[in-house]
Structure 1
Amino acid sequence: MNELVPERASGAATEVGTYTVGKRTGLFVLTVLFFVWGFITSLNDILVPHLKSAFDLSYTKAILVQFSFFAAYFLVSVPAGMLIRRVGYQLGIVLGLLIACAGCLLFIPAARMHVYMMFLLGLFVLASGIAILQVSANPYVIALGRPESAPSRLNLTQAFNSLGTSLAPIFGALVIFSASAGVVHFSSVQTTLNYPASEAASVELPYFWLAVVLLALVAFFSWVSLPTIKEEGEAREETTHRIVGFFEFLLFPRLALGAVAIFFYVGAEVAIGSFLVSYVTEKSVGDMGVSEAARYVSLYWAGAMIGRFIGAGLLNFVRSGALLAICGFSAVVLISLSITSEGDLAVWTIVAVGLCNSIMFPTIFSLALGGLRQFTSQGSGVLCMAIVGGAIVPLFQGVAADSAGIRLSFVVPLICYCYIVYYGAFSPFLRNKK
């Protein structure tokens, strides 16, 4: 169990801020952070079809947007857990925001040079910053209250993360798709030749303003002083200070299997969001334009937001593992209905999967960290590393879409949800003890 220390130790090397806030205010400002990184992450669902058109890419190459973004979690999360153990959660948040800001600014030269690989580099840097934020903020929210209410509390903050993911596709459709579509009205030969470059350039301004927002958050988190988390046993025995090797975490069954669950959950969620525009624009499915299709991406993420608000309440009465298994099974049923039907039924059943996603990430995260005590920050790093599923699973779906068609490619996330059902059903029998 983690312990909150209201005041910082005098002379601490990791001191941040001049204005100390309490637990409730701390939870509020962290909720704002969840909203911002959810907004940024969901913009990728608009970038995938947009850059696919701008650079004339296959599904497999276009999904490298998600691969570059989520691969950063695999490479950065465990080192981030070690870093945060040394510098503290709040300084980790500040560093994560600065790195994410640098990633946003890389979109400016990428757009002006019209280089796809530079877009991918910007996404990798941006995601590296967000990975540090995830490793810092998730266990912090868990520690801001009683351990038994941690799943409910994390679901509440993740609901605002989903609010960001819900609004981002609308923002992307208005700012990115509309800006690129505007160039079609000019009919000169030169404009036609430069149209792909104009499409790529339409992402420059949105990401510049995102960088400004991130810099404002850096200033804010440098000014305030959040309550310090002191991990149990931190000052009692020398053994609690050692860094546990990555493979040693395999000896904690609930954490190890929870990491696999995070891998499959994030992979499935991201894969569906990434291919939703292409799927619903299919003639046999929704037969609509990309701007209209983007609204369904927003509804998909809005379902997760609504479900998290509901789930935050339900988890006070229903065992978290059982609710996780129910949601996983519902997702399997909905995807099966979508890929075997057409028209509105196919569209709405795939969109409704977002509602099933609602409680999955925070519930898996809190279940997997249960009982880790002094190793919580490193366990958080392991779980955040598993977010690399958002890079791998969509890539498999991209390959499936190129070879078997986009409809059948949704079997890939369906398989992922089957594992979620397993983890939810059997998590009560797993313990984080060597």
Structure 2
Amino acid sequence: MVKKTLTSNGSKVFPFILITSLFFLWGFAHNLDPILIPHLKKSFTLTTVQATLVDSAVFIAYFMMALPAGFIMKKYGYKTGIITGLLLFASGCFLFIPAANTQQYAFFLVALFIIACGLTILETAANPYATALGDPATSTQRLNFAQAFNGLATFLAPVIGARMILTKGYSAAQLSSMTESARKFALAAEASSVKTPYFILGCVLVAIAALFAFTRLPKIQHADGHVASKNILHAFKHRHLAWGVAAQFFYVGAQVCVFSLFILYATKSAAIGEVKAADYLGICGLAFLIGRFISTFLMRYVSSGTLLAIYAVINILLCVVAITAHGIITIYTVVGICFFMSIMFPTIFALGIKNLKGDTEYGSSLIIMSIVGGAILPRAFGYISDVTGNIQHGYIVPAACFAVVAYFGFKGHKVRSVTAEDLPVSTIY
């Protein structure tokens, strides 16, 4: 990533607090999706494949909005982009109210798509802005600190969301005692429990957008001598970028399979209730957060590519356990998978855009677009689960995904297209 500087000499503390809040907010939104999936699956009597449309609606937005988000930043600036992202995010949250009132599953998917469009813009803006908002020598610490709040949201969202959404429904015994028409009405009415949490979230987002509007943010400028590529296809001359796009596609697909389908998986494999499963999902988020800090420390002694490959191989083995084991051990296995997934996204990103020079902007957009794997691969997980009648068999999909990540870590990340005069690009995630 190109080095950037800030033109403002004013205080950067409050702007940094605002930027850091974005990491928490999009982490919170993403980690409410695993709560929505079992809730909507039950409310609308969906198959597992149909329920995974929640992830499809979210991650297709990343594919469609990655390039427009970059255009917004380049033409109108980071502040305008952030406010636009927040307002789109809020609009999607408010749409949960008419979606629940009309009791239409498709309406919920539209609302989630709009939320994700806002998240795409926010993620495109916040990562580079956080690295530039202060002394370049401490950019690593700043971004790691900001990302810690994303991990905090991964821990808190399932715990809070479960108690606001999953506890509002009817038990299986209550539903079985109802007439068919009463049961359909009761299940559809459960969808209304999402209105309050998403309305509150939408109001918070509008308030934060207002703070950004009235806050003077330092402007980011490119370093002198940087000449951006004019052709996105030119970026693919870098073979390690092409492998990075593939690895990120499969990694995000694996992550979404693990997190979004965890409650459905845990209630079957360990025979526990949904709220308890949501609490374990919070522990998965905590393991993810701890894994990021421990692994960052390990990178002082082990190269990032090697550590990535080792973690991917470990996760392949853990997936085998997730498929074959029964009882509480399956929960602990998935917690382990989350720990070893912790560094995969930022490490793949950093290795994928290494030494791209003028192709860095397009390379970054391509890797963001590859997040669409989160829309596609959970559908395969759901299909295998439905066909076999056992959701544990769906872990074949993450296992295959981690195999691609392992190859990228061992070999695919090696830079093959740059010349001797090319200098490394400093990239921190």
- TM-score normalized by the length of structure 2: 0.89
Matching residue of 1:423 = 408
Matching residue of 2:223 = 232
Contact 1:321 1:428 in 2 (8 A): yes
Taking the TM superposition and a 5 Å limit, the aligned residue runs for 1:170-319 are: 170-181=159-170, 192-233=183-224, 240=227, 244-282=230-268, 285-319=269-303
Matching residue of 1:140 = 129
Secondary structure in 1 matching 2:4:
strand
**2:11 aligned with 1:21, yes or no?**
yes
Give the RMSD, CA atoms, in angstroms. Answer: 2.6
Match of 2:80 among 91, 112, 129: 91
Contact 2:250 2:401 in 1 (8 A): yes
Listed one character per residue, the Cα deviations across residues 120-150 of structure 1 (whole Å, up to 9, x for unaligned) are 0000000000011111112333445788986
Listed one character per residue, the Cα deviations across residues 287-340 of structure 1 (whole Å, up to 9, x for unaligned) are 111111111221112211111222333334432222222221221121112212
Q: CA deviation at 1:275?
A: 1.7
CA gap of 1:28–1:307, structure 2 versus 1, over 3 A, is farther
Contact 2:7 2:221 in 1 (8 A): no
CA distance in 2 between counterparts of 1:145 and 1:333 reads: 42
Contact 1:142 1:366 in 2 (8 A): no
Q: CA deviation at 1:375?
A: 4.5
Q: CA deviation at 1:248?
A: 2.2
CA gap of 1:122–1:267, structure 2 versus 1, over 3 A, is same
State which drifts further: 180-189 or 201-210: 180-189
CA distance in 2 between counterparts of 1:428 and 1:56 reads: 43
Q: CA deviation at 1:245?
A: 3.1
CA distance in 2 between counterparts of 1:134 and 1:201 reads: 29
Matching residue of 1:158 = 147
CA distance in 1 between counterparts of 2:171 and 2:323 reads: 34
State which drifts further: 399-408 or 107-116: 399-408
Q: CA deviation at 1:184?
A: 8.6
CA distance in 1 between counterparts of 2:349 and 2:136 reads: 13
**2:342 aligned with 1:358, yes or no?**
yes
**2:9 aligned with 1:5, yes or no?**
no
CA distance in 2 between counterparts of 1:317 and 1:149 reads: 20
State which drifts further: 312-321 or 409-418: 312-321
Contact 2:23 2:146 in 1 (8 A): yes
Contact 1:59 1:399 in 2 (8 A): yes
Secondary structure in 1 matching 2:169:
helix
Instruction: Report the residue type matching 1:232 in the other structure.
Output: A
CA distance in 1 between counterparts of 2:159 and 2:240 reads: 37
CA gap of 1:337–1:104, structure 2 versus 1, over 3 A, is same
Equivalent residue pairs, number? 415
CA distance in 2 between counterparts of 1:71 and 1:431 reads: 31
Contact 2:310 2:406 in 1 (8 A): yes
Unaligned runs of 5+ in 1: 9-19
Contact 2:92 2:114 in 1 (8 A): yes
Taking the TM superposition and a 5 Å limit, the aligned residue runs for 1:370-409 are: 370-404=354-388, 405-409=390-394
Contact 2:306 2:410 in 1 (8 A): yes
**2:411 aligned with 1:410, yes or no?**
no
Listed one character per residue, the Cα deviations across residues 52-109 of structure 1 (whole Å, up to 9, x for unaligned) are 0000011111100100111000111122112212222232111111111111111110
Instruction: Report the residue type matching 1:6 in the other structure.
Output: T
CA gap of 1:365–1:21, structure 2 versus 1, over 3 A, is farther
CA gap of 1:183–1:410, structure 2 versus 1, over 3 A, is closer
CA gap of 1:152–1:253, structure 2 versus 1, over 3 A, is farther
State which drifts further: 388-397 or 291-300: 291-300
Q: Percent identity?
A: 38
Q: CA deviation at 1:276?
A: 1.3
- TM-score normalized by the length of structure 1: 0.88
